[in-house]
Structure 1
Amino acid sequence: MQLLKKFFRKKIICKGIVSLSFLQNGIAVAVSEFTKNNALTLVHCEFIDIEKPEDQQNTLNELANQHNLAEYDCHLVLTTDNYRRVNVETPAVADNEIIEALRWKINELIDFPVDKAIIDYYQAPMGVRSNSRKMLEVIASPIDLIKKQIEKCTKAGLRLKVIDIQETALRNLAVHTPENERGIALLYLQEFSGSLLIQKNTTIYVSRQFEIGYKKLSLAEPFSNNPSANAHNTLALEIQRSLDYVESYYGILHIPALVVIPLADNTHNLLDSLGSNLGIAVRAIDLSSLIDCDILMDGRTQSLCAPVIGATLRYAIEAT
């Protein structure tokens, strides 16, 4: 992606990567260090609860000093409420005119002024149908929001190199699953929303957001006794429709598994629900064992920090 490329032109030798994300109730951070063979090992990961957004700067300053984060490249991960994704047909213009053409195309499709937005895009994969068209996934984010987050990073002395989005960060995790070459579906549930990603060999074929989070599923109750069965069925239907779409539009047959980012609690009840409603294997993935990692992470840390963990793997994915 070309997001803010003018700000970040050159990679420099560094100790590793620190990835962070500003959430409404805290900061998620992950730190990976380069090993002797230039691989990356996760050495620190935590979610810091912060009640007041105005306290984020001081907390980040303390974190940067404690872990010497100025020695690392910084990757900032936007949360899904920080940007909008729009799928549009590739404009028939020169490369240097694409951004302006995309502004015109998405003008009425986003809920903030397009002239006050940062626009980025990546090429969507081609479908197998004869009438398939070249499409772009367009990412738009309010420039004022981006500037505020950049300012927090620079005030803390961080060397901001990359601004990433949740979809590509989670893709970096999915690539490490054994099913990567056949295709893999990944489910990431947050408190009030969820994301489904289907990728194969680093290419994202489906990325869907839905308003079903783990709160709505009432997972403290076993699936067989759960009064929120309608929400469980709706979630399974969203996933199945996406699997069917990948098969019919892209010709990717039989995605072998759905992997689930662990929740803080009751992940097993979620797996029981999905396993009862879907015709593919469903399992949770322990990020501590999925990637090269020197630490153990509980379910809550993995749930809150999965995108920033994935963002630390960006250089490794780009090198493949």
Structure 2
Amino acid sequence: MQRLLQTMNAKVNKTSGRATVSLQSNGIFVALVSRSAAGNPVIDRVFSHETFTGNSLTVLETMVQVEPLKKYRCSHLLNAGEYQLLTVDTPAVPQNERKEAMRWIVKDMLDFPAEDATIDILAIPLDKSGPIRSTSMFVVVARNSIISQRQKLFETAALELAAIDIPETAQRNISALLEPEGKALALLSLNADGGLMTITFAGELYLSRRMDITLVQLKQADLFQQAQLHEQITLELQRSLDHFYRQHHEMQLSKLVLAPMGQPGADLLVYLDRNLNSPVELLDMATIMDCSATPELLDADVQQKYFLTLGAALRIRST
């Protein structure tokens, strides 16, 4: 059984760039990103096959024939409903036994047998200047059947799958490019699956919260509904920020950044700026990534469409 998050195939020997393939409800989205020691990451290419009704394999095989996917280390991004992210206390066992110990710790939190789960873990660093307390870990859990299905999809399409990622780690990768030195950063994104807020510090994920509000809801809302949605988002954000302050009061949060959302993001920014007790900014991906080869990404709506796929393609670490 393979692991999530970790590199999965040691034989993969590609360019320094990464290709991430995301199977979403409205299509297949791909981002090709290269990184160098100096300068911003370069977006080499983004492309998609949207609103398809056919077989994912057929679409992916066609993409492989016309796009340079095989030149890149390939990763796959799971959707929100295809895994669970749990936070638990770190078990008092040797490090090499933690992952298997987690299987039994989380078994009562799952709606399927733990034996049928693919599990990986992600440490939440202990604040050296903070109070003494038990350390915690994120536990990522997905059904074996989903992981096997995706591995088979890539294998049949003649693509070597190097890693499987989740939205939280993809968003963490983007947040790491935005963090002021010595300060934490909150990042909120919205898409068809809902909202995702993360807080990172020194490139590490410390907090993750999901929201049920979708970008489609914001786009389709009238003025009254929009005000209600903005109020709900603000309340959930403030609760999450308060929780972070209680747990990590020694860290200073620099600001909240809104991921690209087009006009709904601009409207939300105005509301949050008036009602949230934290500085708020709207992200333009062109300020942290080189979009010279992909001018279409200068549009905020296109940035939103590829946001998490690009985040996963920024992977430079083993988790």
TM more than 0.5: yes
Does structure 1 residue 229 correspond to structure 2 residue 227? yes
In the other structure, the counterpart of 1:104 is: 104
Does structure 1 residue 82 correspond to structure 2 residue 82? yes
Map Cα deviations across residues 212-242 of structure 1 (whole Å, 9 max, x no partner). 1223345665xxx433433322211111122
SS across alignment from 1:226: helix
User: Which whole-Å CA distance do the structure 2 matches of 1:59 and 1:69 have between them?
Assistant: 13
User: Which whole-Å CA distance do the structure 1 matches of 2:126 and 2:164 have between them?
Assistant: 26
In the other structure, the counterpart of 1:17 is: 18
User: Which whole-Å CA distance do the structure 2 matches of 1:38 and 1:284 have between them?
Assistant: 22
Cα gap change, 1:18 to 1:251, in 2 (>3 Å): same
- 1:71-220 matches, within 5 Å, as 71-126=71-126, 130=131, 132-177=133-178, 179=180, 181-217=182-218
Q: TM-score, normalised by structure 1?
A: 0.88
Map Cα deviations across residues 72-116 of structure 1 (whole Å, 9 max, x no partner). 110111112111011111112233332222111111112222111
Q: Which stretch of the first structure deviates more once superposed, 226-235 or 273-282?
A: 226-235
User: Which whole-Å CA distance do the structure 2 matches of 1:32 and 1:231 have between them?
Assistant: 34
Contact 1:167 1:197 in 2 (8 A): yes
In the other structure, the counterpart of 1:276 is: 274
User: Which whole-Å CA distance do the structure 1 matches of 2:26 and 2:269 have between them?
Assistant: 27
User: Which whole-Å CA distance do the structure 2 matches of 1:94 and 1:15 have between them?
Assistant: 33
Cα gap change, 1:252 to 1:10, in 2 (>3 Å): farther
What is the identity, as a one-letter code, of the residue corresponding to 2:270? D
Cα gap change, 1:175 to 1:96, in 2 (>3 Å): closer
- 1:242-257 matches, within 5 Å, as 242-257=240-255
SS across alignment from 1:175: helix
Deviation at 1:167, TM superposition (A): 0.8
Contact 1:218 1:226 in 2 (8 A): no
In the other structure, the counterpart of 1:33 is: 34
In the other structure, the counterpart of 1:63 is: 63
User: Which whole-Å CA distance do the structure 2 matches of 1:82 and 1:25 have between them?
Assistant: 16
User: Which whole-Å CA distance do the structure 2 matches of 1:38 and 1:237 have between them?
Assistant: 37
Cα gap change, 1:15 to 1:98, in 2 (>3 Å): closer
User: Which whole-Å CA distance do the structure 2 matches of 1:259 and 1:154 have between them?
Assistant: 37
User: Which whole-Å CA distance do the structure 1 matches of 2:219 and 2:67 have between them?
Assistant: 38
Cα gap change, 1:285 to 1:219, in 2 (>3 Å): farther
Contact 1:3 1:120 in 2 (8 A): yes
SS across alignment from 2:308: helix
Contact 2:6 2:164 in 1 (8 A): no
What is the identity, as a one-letter code, of the residue corresponding to 1:119? I
Cα gap change, 1:313 to 1:249, in 2 (>3 Å): same
SS across alignment from 2:161: strand
- 1:257-268 matches, within 5 Å, as 257-268=255-266
User: Which whole-Å CA distance do the structure 1 matches of 2:177 and 2:27 have between them?
Assistant: 27
Cα gap change, 1:118 to 1:180, in 2 (>3 Å): farther
In the other structure, the counterpart of 1:51 is: 52
Cα gap change, 1:267 to 1:40, in 2 (>3 Å): closer
User: Which whole-Å CA distance do the structure 1 matches of 2:246 and 2:205 have between them?
Assistant: 16
Deviation at 1:174, TM superposition (A): 0.9
User: Which whole-Å CA distance do the structure 1 matches of 2:108 and 2:120 have between them?
Assistant: 17
User: Which whole-Å CA distance do the structure 1 matches of 2:46 and 2:112 have between them?
Assistant: 33
User: Which whole-Å CA distance do the structure 1 matches of 2:242 and 2:97 have between them?
Assistant: 35
Cα gap change, 1:292 to 1:180, in 2 (>3 Å): farther
User: Which whole-Å CA distance do the structure 2 matches of 1:245 and 1:125 have between them?
Assistant: 16
Could you list the runs of 5+ residues in structure 2 that have no partner in the other structure? none
Q: TM-score, normalised by structure 2?
A: 0.88
User: Which whole-Å CA distance do the structure 1 matches of 2:283 and 2:5 have between them?
Assistant: 32
Contact 2:34 2:41 in 1 (8 A): yes
SS across alignment from 2:267: helix
